[in-house]
Structure 1
């Protein structure tokens, strides 16, 4: 029995040694690539992992003078207070708006990015293709503050271009006093700002498709539309699912930079634009309740993690090749 045990254990030891040797050999072969990873790793350690120490504030009656480790521990009192009748309406509204807007952004952004990638791939002239790609990516590098200023040119109550055009056809609309129109406005802005940049990965996937597949389809008499729907889009689906999984992880994270730059402190628009991030910021600024704000952020992160795990489970069940783990 002992001989059998030792014989079965030997292959395992050899496999482990091979794995270790494989990593060391890979490290020696790709030293430059591993060195290029160091700045990114340092960035995540400093700005993502070190700040996790602050999560302790979610369980404290935090006082700036006492610091994180000197403040009084109060257990889950911050979480209980968030669910109290005085706080729950605003918090539930922020949660609903965050999820609703993110779902709109994910769906519309994915459709727009895939559509742009297909269009760019169909443009045969290289110069025109490069020009259109550059123009579509450019908005991604604009600050939301600058975009907010441009938006005011179109939606301003008195001098706005869109406002005056609607007034000429008998539709008087005050954009900054009507919260109902803002989900649509924010979706349009998000598509305009991020669709071009988001199409890069999809375009890379399309260009990696074997050209012989399209040639065989042409010989069989398939039109360009048939090739797109029967070849391009099905091959793109694993990439779409994978990127959607990454997006679902942030479904409880509102785009604070976008919303605060455009909406600011306009409480009239809060019913449809107030998200968890702006709610937390307003709580910290007005109430100086760092513990409550941290508690909201912790719940936000935990729920986001569970959403990724659920989405990954669904992806593994229906599209195993698209699962993250």
Structure 2
């Protein structure tokens, strides 16, 4: 009997040790994640209490909770203004271009890096393309201004005059700026975004390419039937995350690069810059909070709808 009892206790002891070690591992992982959890709670969850400002006429002397309720008046102020359509159009249109072209160029650059054989050459190219991502938009704004400075002082105008053309006053003609902002955005972000796709490519088994070469597949066929199918999940995830922010513009880009010039508002004024001016010039906290709430709700709905479409087409690539 004693032998049987001892034999029965061993599995229990082993199970307890396994559970204890697993519990310790979970605690260690929780400690590692604790700073991110604290930041998320402080800067994302606690500010949610400010949602009520969207339905109030905020007064500093009364505070958030004692300020009078105004219902949907703050929302009406924005959506009935003459500039609402312009800023919404610019925000959605430019973000759509950013998502499309950034994804395409990031994937192409990642594939190009993957095809290069020299590791030193790959690191050199990655470093060069990644460096712009570490520059603040304030610095980028001054760099762009040096290139597009009005008159003969700007570098671009000097090149135009060198070929016999007339200098262009870039900061008074809004038609050029969708292309200018797109080029600046690609220069600033393609190197960083390509890292996600390059990391995914590094996980492809080399045997796929060896088998394709034995079958006589061309480089374009390898791209179509091997590389792109492996990249499809990460492309979908990145696109879904970007769609969630399609109603939010990159404030640093749209404020610092066009230098907040009024003549460029027809193509460079977006929701975020409009709200900034309303807050700084009018001091309308309620309207700013209302627009921020609308941005969050639109992003949330777009993520749900897009994920639902992806789940219908390819369930394995959906976020949830």
TM-score by length of 1: 0.89
Unmatched tracts of structure 1, length 5 or more: 1-21
Report the counterpart of residue 98 of structure 2 in structure 1: 105
Question: What is the SS of the residue equivalent to 2:64?
Answer: coil
Report the counterpart of residue 146 of structure 1 in structure 2: 139
Question: What is the SS of the residue equivalent to 1:264?
Answer: coil
Instruction: Compute the displacement of 1:27 (Å).
Output: 4.4
> Which residue of the other structure, out of 160, 163, 166, is the alignment partner of 2:154?
160
Q: 1:229 to 1:164 in 2, by over 3 A?
A: same
Instruction: Determine if contact 1:27/1:34 at 8 Å carries over to the other structure.
Output: no
Report the counterpart of residue 56 of structure 2 in structure 1: 60
Instruction: Determine if contact 2:58/2:286 at 8 Å carries over to the other structure.
Output: yes
Instruction: Compute the displacement of 1:132 (Å).
Output: 0.8
Instruction: Determine if contact 2:249/2:272 at 8 Å carries over to the other structure.
Output: yes
Question: Aligned residue pairs: how many?
Answer: 301
Report the counterpart of residue 46 of structure 2 in structure 1: 50
Instruction: Compute the displacement of 1:140 (Å).
Output: 0.5
Moved over 6 A (4+): 22-25
Partners of 2:234 and 2:137 lie apart in 1 by 28
CA RMSD of aligned residues (A): 1.6
Superposed CA deviations along residues 184-236 of structure 1, whole A, max 9, x for unmatched, are 11111111111011011101111101110001011111222321222101221
Instruction: Compute the displacement of 1:170 (Å).
Output: 2.3
- Aligned residue runs from structure 1 range 183-194, under 5 A: 183-194=178-189
Partners of 2:238 and 2:19 lie apart in 1 by 28
Partners of 1:206 and 1:189 lie apart in 2 by 26
Report the counterpart of residue 309 of structure 1 in structure 2: 304
Instruction: Determine if contact 2:244/2:300 at 8 Å carries over to the other structure.
Output: yes
- Aligned residue runs from structure 1 range 187-202, under 5 A: 187-202=182-197
> Which residue of the other structure, out of 181, 202, 205, is the alignment partner of 2:200?
205
Q: Report which stretch shifted further, 101-110 or 161-170.
A: 161-170
Q: 1:163 to 1:221 in 2, by over 3 A?
A: same
Instruction: Determine if contact 1:59/1:295 at 8 Å carries over to the other structure.
Output: yes
